[in-house]
Chain A
Amino acid sequence: MLETRNITINFGGLIAVNNVSITVQPHKITALIGPNGAGKTTFFNCISGVYKPTKGEIILDGQHLEGKRGFQINAAGIARTYQVINLFWKMTALENVLVGMNSRLTTNFWDCLFHTKKKRAEEKLIYEEAYELLKFVGLEQYANAPAASLSYGKQRLLEIVRGLASKPKVILLDEPAAGMNTAEKAELDILLKKIIDMGVTILIVEHDMKLIMNVSDYIYVLCNGMLLAQGVPEEIQNNPEVICAYLGGEE
C-alpha cells in the first residue's frame, strides 16, 4: 500500500536517513522504532511532505509522492499527527476536526462568501460528522472547548481524530502515547485497533515498547538513520542487534 524505496535525507552533509525502504501493508499496524536520534521523525516528515527526500521514492497505491507538498500529500490520503502537539490552540476541538476535513470538501471560495445552498448543506453534514468523530475518541463533551484547554492526553486524541477527519488511507502517528497516563495508554491500544477496523492503515512511531509489541503487526527498527532490523514483534524482541542498539553495545 504505502511503500518507500531507498529514501535518503541529507541535511547539508549530515545523513539523517540513509537508504530506508519500508512497506506498509494495508489494514495493518506497522511500527517504526529505534533509539533517540535514529531519524524516525525525520523519516515521517519526509513521507508527509515537510522535507523532500534527497533520493528515493514514496509510493502510495501506485502514486508517486516524493517532492509533493504537505497539503497535496494529505489530499492523496496520508494524514499525520505530530510528536510535539500541533493543534490549532484557540480553535475549539470541533473546529480542529473540521479543519482536518479540509482536503475532502467541495465548496469553493464563492460558496463560502455567498452562503450558498451547497455550502449550507456541506456545513451541516460535516458538523455532524465531526461530532461523530469526537464521539469516536470520547471527546464529544469537549466539542466547544478550545483545544488549548484540554489535558495533554486528550490533546493527543484530538490530534489523532483530526488526522482521521480527512478519511485517509494511511495515518502516521508520531509518538501518540507520549504524555499519556497508564489508563489513557490502555485506551489508546483499543483505539488503534478501532482505527484499523475503520479501514485506515497505521504507521506508528513510538517509544512505549509494551504498546508497540502489543499492537504492531510488523516492526521496522531504525538506528543511526539506517534500517537495522525488521520483522514481527517476536522476531524483533529476540533480535540481538536490536537489543544491542537499545541497551548499548556489548561485543
Chain B
Amino acid sequence: MKFDKKPNKLILIAGLGLLLFILPFLTKLIVGNQYPLLIMCIIMIYIIAVTGLDILFGYCGQISLGHAAFFTLGAYTTGLLNMYFNLPLFITIPAATVLTSVLGALLAYPASKLKFHFLSLATVAFGEITYYFLYTSPGGFTRDFRGINVVGISFLGEDYLKWYFFLLFFVVLVLLGKTSLIKSRTGRAFTAIRENTHAADGMGINVRKQKIIAFTVSAFLTGLAGALYVHLIKYISPETSMQKQSVLFLTMLLFGGTASIMGTILGVVSIEVLMEAIRFLQEYQMLFYGILLLIVIVALPGGVYGGIKDLIVTIKRKKALKALNVQKAADTGKDGAE
C-alpha cells in the first residue's frame, strides 16, 4: 500500500470513511427497519469471499468452481465448534480459517499440476465431495440435510448496526492485505503466472509453490467469510456448498471485473442488490447468473469496473484530441493572419 501524500487522495479517503460511517445510520433512519443493514452486512461478507476468489482467479489465473465449499466449510467449522463445545468467536473463527487454509493447500498440491479446465474439474469435484460429506456425514454430526442452527452463537445479537461496523473492520483489513500482497513480488508472481506460466518459470518463479500460496490465501479468505456468515445468519445448510453458490461468487467477480479492488466491490454490490430486488423470482436464480455472465463475457470482458475504466480513458482521449484540434485551429488561424 503506497499512499501518495497528495491532499486530494487523503480527502477522498476521509470522505469515503465518513460516507461509510453515516451510511448505516442514514438507511436505518430512512427505511425504518434493519433489513437494508442486513443486506449490507451480507455484501461485506461476500466481498471478503469474492476477494479470495479474485486472488486465485483474477490475479493468478487459476479458475475455481468449488469455492462455495471453502465458504461452507468455514461456516460449518465455526458453527459446529460453537454447537458442541460452546467455544467463543475468537477461537472458532481462527479455527475455521486454519482448517480451510489447510484444505486449500492440500487441494492445491495436486491441483497445481493441472492446467486450466482440468483444474476447474478438480475444484468442481471438491465442491461435490464437500456437499455430500455435509449431507450424509458419519454419525450425522453435521445434522445432514437439516443444516445447523446455532442461535447462541451471535455475540452481537440482532443489532445489525453493530454487525455493520464489526464486518467493515474485517473488510478494510482484508482489502488492505490484498493491496499489500498484490503490490509485492508475490502479487507480481501471481500475475506473471496468469500471463505466461512458461515465461514465469524461466524468470525464476517457482510456479507450483506460488499456485499453492494463491490457493491457500484464497481458501483462507473465503473460509473467513463463511465463518463470519454463520455468526451473522446463525444458520448454515449443505446447500450453500452447492454449485449454485460457487457460480454466484464467480458471477459477482466477473460482473464487477477481475484483478482489482473496485471490481470486486462493484460486482458484489450490484449482483446482491439485484438478487434481492428479484427475490420473488428465486427459482430462476441460476438463469439470471447465466444471463449476466453471458452479457459480461460478450459485451464487457473487463466487467463493469473495466468498462468504466475504458470509458474514462475514451473520454480523456476525446478531450485531449479536442484540445489538440482547438490548438491546431488557433495555430492555422494565426498562420492565415500572418
A residues with a Cβ closer than 8 A to B are: 48-50, 69-71, 74-75, 79-80, 82, 86-91, 95, 98-100, 102-103, 105, 107, 109, 111-115, 119, 123, 162, 166
12 residue pairs from A and B, CB less than 8 Å apart: A70-B201, A71-B206, A74-B202, A74-B203, A80-B202, A99-B200, A102-B188, A102-B204, A112-B184, A112-B186, A113-B184, A166-B204
- Selected from B1, B185, B195, B202, the residue in CB contact (under 8 A) with A70 is B202
Q: Does B41 contact A (CB under 8 A)?
A: no
CB pair A99 B184 closer than 8 Å: no
In the complex formed, the residue of A with least CB distance to B187 is A112
In the complex formed, the residue of A with least CB distance to B186 is A112
Given the complex of chains A and B, what is the CA–CA distance between A75 and B205 in angstroms? 9
- Selected from B1, B186, B195, the residue in CB contact (under 8 A) with A88 is B195
Given the complex of chains A and B, what is the CA–CA distance between A107 and B203 in angstroms? 17
A172 → chain B closest CB, angstroms: 10
B320 → chain A closest CB, angstroms: 16
Q: Does B196 contact A (CB under 8 A)?
A: yes
CB pair A99 B202 closer than 8 Å: no
B residues with a Cβ closer than 8 A to A are: 1, 177, 180-181, 183-189, 191-192, 195-196, 198-207, 213
The B interface is mostly helix, strand or loop, or mixed, namely helix
- Selected from B1, B186, B192, B196, the residue in CB contact (under 8 A) with A109 is B186
Given the complex of chains A and B, what is the CA–CA distance between A108 and B206 in angstroms? 13
CB pair A91 B195 closer than 8 Å: yes
Given the complex of chains A and B, what is the CA–CA distance between A99 and B187 in angstroms? 10
In the complex formed, the residue of A with least CB distance to B176 is A115
* Contact partners of A50 in chain B: CB under 8 A: 198, 201-202
CB pair B201 A69 closer than 8 Å: yes
CB pair B205 A102 closer than 8 Å: yes
CB pair A82 B201 closer than 8 Å: no
CB pair A99 B192 closer than 8 Å: yes
- Selected from A49, A88, A102, the residue in CB contact (under 8 A) with B185 is A102
* Contact partners of A103 in chain B: CB under 8 A: 203-205
